[in-house]
Amino acid sequence: MTAHELQNLLSSADAPLLVQVLPEEVFAAQRISGSKQACVYEVAFFDQIAALTTDKARAIIVYGAGSGSLDAQVAAQKLAAAGFTNVTAFDGGLEAWSAAGLPIEGEGTLPAAPLLSGTFSADTEQSLIRWTGRNLFNHHSGIVRLADGEITLRGNALVAARFRIAMNSIACEDISDSAMNQMLIAHLHSDDFFDVAHHPVAEFVAESITPLATCTDGTPNYLLRGQFTLRGITRDIEFPILAATADGKRLTAQGVLDLDRTQFGSVYGSGRIFRFLGKHIVNDHIHLHIKLHADLNS
């Protein structure tokens, strides 16, 4: 169906029900005249449709953003599976309608993430790092928290960033037995692993943040590079992150990486360092899932 074919249908005596299946803020910004709204991304999609019609034989045309988005197709499939018998997807969506020079209603400006500028301080209560350590037969997992952190941006470009990790906050979440849990934490604090008594803080200093051109929503959008110091040893590291803001005042970022602990002097149980380890072998890499929240300084 072309945009002009849709226009003709909408001007006919038995015009179909036209439903935009995007979120409310998009509907408010741009919509085809006469559209109703039911967001296919919401679990309440069918409730929203029911508020528009309960006649499953009624002609319905659904549309969304256009090329590169399956919103309309998925909405049509869902409705067909629910018993609606006369549903058509206008695949061209807002994009094709606008390209055809046909009128768009609404406020005109589609929602966009604001540019970030200023200095943001880490929310150490909400930010955390989840760790998982493994060997071939077992694994343990837990959290470690930030001591503090700060990032300065100018128009989304990195000016400076520094984050410190409180190594004495290491906690294990998968061992319920208190004595065994404390034994593992003591071992992690020891010189075998992180030597917390002599190195209570680990530190990451960012050097660059590069946009990833091929990213899509929900995938990493930047490559973060910097220097990480653990046990007094500093190495260059890089890893992809997903960073965003809703209002320009609170930054949220997440990243996942596998850190080779042996590069920082933590060699206990490493098969690269020792032979005949048997049951004492521990994987060299620690899996880290980092979640950061930071607020704009007033």
* Higher-pLDDT residue of 109, 93: 93
Write down the pLDDT at residue 176.
96
The residue from 83, 105, 127 where one domain ends is: 105
Domain count across the chain: 2
Q: Which domain does 74 fall in, by range?
A: 3-105
Indicate whether 87 and 122 sit together in one domain. Answer: no
Residue 112 in this model has a pLDDT that exceeds 80: no
Indicate whether 134 and 259 sit together in one domain. Answer: yes
Write down the pLDDT at residue 214.
87
* Backbone angles phi and psi of 128, in degrees to 5: -160, 165
Indicate whether 59 and 205 sit together in one domain. Answer: no
Indicate whether 180 and 221 sit together in one domain. Answer: yes
Indicate whether 122 and 264 sit together in one domain. Answer: yes
Does 82 map to a domain?
Answer: yes
Does 39 map to a domain?
Answer: yes
Question: What digits encode the pLDDT tens for the residues 247-266?
Answer: 889 999 999 999 999 999 99
Name the average pLDDT for the chain. 95
Question: Which of these, 192, 199, 140, lies nearest to 168 by C-alpha position?
Answer: 199
Q: How far is CA 73 from the centre of its chain?
A: 24
Indicate whether 130 and 58 sit together in one domain. Answer: no
**CATH classification of the domain holding 75:** 3.40.250.10
CB 15 within 8 A of CB 8: no
Continuous H helices in 101-244: 178-189
The pTM score is 0.82
Q: pLDDT category, 110, cuts 50, 70, 90?
A: confident
Residue 293 in this model has a pLDDT that exceeds 90: yes
Indicate whether 137 and 252 sit together in one domain. Answer: yes
Distance spanning both ends of the chain, measured CA to CA: 52
Residue 144 β-bridge partners? 129
Indicate whether 142 and 217 sit together in one domain. Answer: yes
Write down the pLDDT at residue 115.
82
Residue 111 in this model has a pLDDT that exceeds 90: no
Does 113 map to a domain?
Answer: no
Q: What is the DSSP string of 42-64?
A: STTHHHHHHHH---TTS-EEEE-
Residue 114 in this model has a pLDDT that exceeds 90: no
Residue 283 in this model has a pLDDT that exceeds 90: yes
Does 59 map to a domain?
Answer: yes
Write down the pLDDT at residue 198.
98
Question: What digits encode the pLDDT tens for the residues 127-150?
Answer: 999 999 999 889 999 999 999 999
Continuous H helices in the chain: 3-10, 24-29, 45-52, 71-81, 93-99, 178-189
Indicate whether 259 and 147 sit together in one domain. Answer: yes
The residue from 62, 82, 105 where one domain ends is: 105
The residue from 75, 105, 135 where one domain ends is: 105
